Chains A and B, each alone.
Chain A
């Protein structure tokens, strides 16, 4: 019976803990910082969060299978550069090129992890290096920053707005909605949970474990590439130096959102809340002005730690 109450507590904390924290942080920020609640600030907040949300969505799937994808930061940067370079050939190339290449990197990750039993950690670490190398190779060792022609339709994807809210926000929202449906309402989603929850049992229950793993890493690569393309469209150029450490942000928001790093359980909504939490805190730290912006990562680290320790303690 102790297992039951502990599990219930864990569940409540996972489902509500981060949401409660988000509400609290938002409420306090609203009261303390008058500028926080302004429409402009909220629009900006949502836009900044949307890029991370797209990456973290893929990471959520990967982590639920019990894996990890360290390559997303590099792939994100690569996606942006490819989109900017491709934009000279039109909208379609600008969008398709990063998606295809980044999906390819994700696919290779998945194949190596599922078929050769190598640790996800080390495989994606190698592809982190590889993607960064590829990025440098196509940008003249980082010396060239491809600009997107201002009249290109592609720019609209990043800078266009509805009621002042940027398109990327809607893209991220749609993808997260889709991700949630796939995860909870399709058999592929059930396979993701089963693979991470108990791999051996899943195999005995007839779950295509290898295919599921290949699928989530491919999705993660593709989504990171898409986030890169959106960022490039927004910035109107393929900035070569972005994405360093983004994989850590993505992992952090997924974990803060209540997805267990040991796999088997997690939710897209939690990840979205995690993104919100991190971005709001970041925004507030910027508002304080006197406070060093480096507190952001300290706060992320502390948050991560608290969540992980709580998960572990409640699990006992």
Chain B
């Protein structure tokens, strides 16, 4: 391997960590009130829902797929919560998760059994899902008052926000799933070489359906947490462009869009990086406009670096 190839490889694998450290250092020196507990807390709480979605997205991308419907699924969760909150927070959350499960099963079925490209299969739900959520909610934003449910988004355990805790637990769980289970290894194999995986007798369809289902459930979890934090069911805005943020974080974190690899720690770091970029720009009074353009540049740069070489 030539020196440049080695260097590119290293950058592909570790660029995201370097970027996070660099940004942290930059902020520590140049940003007032950055190294405070309160600030970290805010950043983490904001990043948690994105992370949960990104975890599912990383698994889907690992199979050489993509799930565009995650934002719509979040909206569905946001629409369903108020409907069942009267029966208590547990049934409400469960129903939201079931919605995510069904959405994911549906996507997985289209991809694995019908054989539709992932981008197209999940597009239908992206187009229709939010509309469905709005129909369910009558197009209304519903204020929520159940204290137990609201605690999910605002409460602490041992000084750590519950949503952050859930995100961390899920990240560990997804990492364990990818690295320590038959399912996880089969998932990566399907993404790496689908034909070889099928010839090796792997249950390709079951793996694909499973992956999309997990992604749907995780999107619903994220929708539940975000709804709780907002204190209102808001299907119109809930998870808008979330598919974009999640894909960005996954790709920036070094999981290639060509599949065959899932980097959970990279994805977590990717989410943190994009959150830090946003925070840095805001703290330095750079407007949202510039922030969006910089994000666009980061996406292109990350995908460019991560391009598979032939």
Give A contacts to B, CB under 8 Å: 68, 112, 116-119, 121-123, 125-130, 132-137, 141, 244, 248-249, 251-252, 255, 261-262, 292-302, 304-305, 308-309, 312-313
Contact = CB atoms under 8 A, between A and B. Distances in A.
Given A133-B293, A133-B296, A301-B125, 11 more contacts: A125-B299, A129-B292, A129-B296, A136-B288, A262-B117, A294-B135, A297-B134, A298-B128, A301-B129, A308-B116, A312-B116
B127 A136 contact: no
Contact of B244 (A123, A125, A251, A252): A125
A262 B116 CA distance: 10
A116 B307 CA distance: 9
Nearest to A122: B303
Given A309-B110, A312-B116, A130 B139 contact: no
B124 A297 contact: no
Given A129-B293, A132-B292, A137-B290, A308 B244 contact: no
B296 A130 contact: yes
B120 A261 contact: yes
Contacts of A248: 123, 126-127
Nearest to B131: A297
Nearest to B295: A129
A295 B135 contact: yes
A128 B296 CA distance: 8
Contacts of A295: 131, 135
Nearest to B121: A308
Which 7 residue pairs of A and B lie closest in terms of their CB atoms, listed nearest first? A301-B128, A297-B131, A133-B292, A136-B289, A294-B134, A137-B289, A133-B293
A6 to B, nearest CB: 14
Contacts of A262: 117
B114 interface: yes
Contacts of A249: 127
A68 B127 contact: no
Contacts of A312: 114-116
B122 to A, nearest CB: 11
B120 to A, nearest CB: 5
Nearest to B236: A294
B19 interface: no
Given A126-B296, A129-B244, A133-B289, A305 B135 contact: no
B296 A298 contact: no
Interface string B239-259: 010001001000100000100
20 contacts: A116-B307, A117-B307, A118-B307, A125-B299, A126-B299, A127-B296, A132-B292, A133-B291, A133-B292, A136-B289, A137-B287, A137-B293, A248-B126, A261-B119, A292-B139, A294-B132, A298-B131, A301-B129, A305-B124, A309-B114
A301 B124 contact: yes
Interface of B: 66, 110, 114-117, 119-121, 123-132, 134-135, 138-139, 240, 244, 247, 251, 257, 287-293, 295-297, 299-300, 303-304, 307
B137 to A, nearest CB: 9
B116 A309 contact: yes
Contact of A301 (B131, B134, B138, B287): B131
A114 to B, nearest CB: 14
Contact of A141 (B120, B139, B289): B289
B307 A252 contact: no
Given A119-B257, A133-B292, A137-B287, A300 B127 contact: yes
Nearest to B298: A126
B130 A308 contact: no
B128 A300 contact: yes
A126 B296 CA distance: 4
B292 A308 contact: no
A55 to B, nearest CB: 15
A301 B128 CA distance: 4
| Among B116, B292, B303: residue with most chain A CB under 10 A | B292
Contacts of A300: 127-128, 131
Contacts of A261: 117, 119-120
| Among B129, B139, B257, B289: residue with most chain A CB under 10 A | B289
Contacts of B116: 308-309, 312
A68 B251 CA distance: 19
Contacts of A251: 123
Nearest to B110: A309
Contact of A122 (B120, B121, B299): B299
B293 A130 contact: yes
B124 A128 contact: no
A5 B31 CA distance: 68
A126 B307 CA distance: 16
A19 to B, nearest CB: 21
Contacts of B299: 122, 125-126, 129
Nearest to B125: A301
A304 B127 contact: yes
B292 A136 contact: yes
A293 B244 CA distance: 26
A241 to B, nearest CB: 12
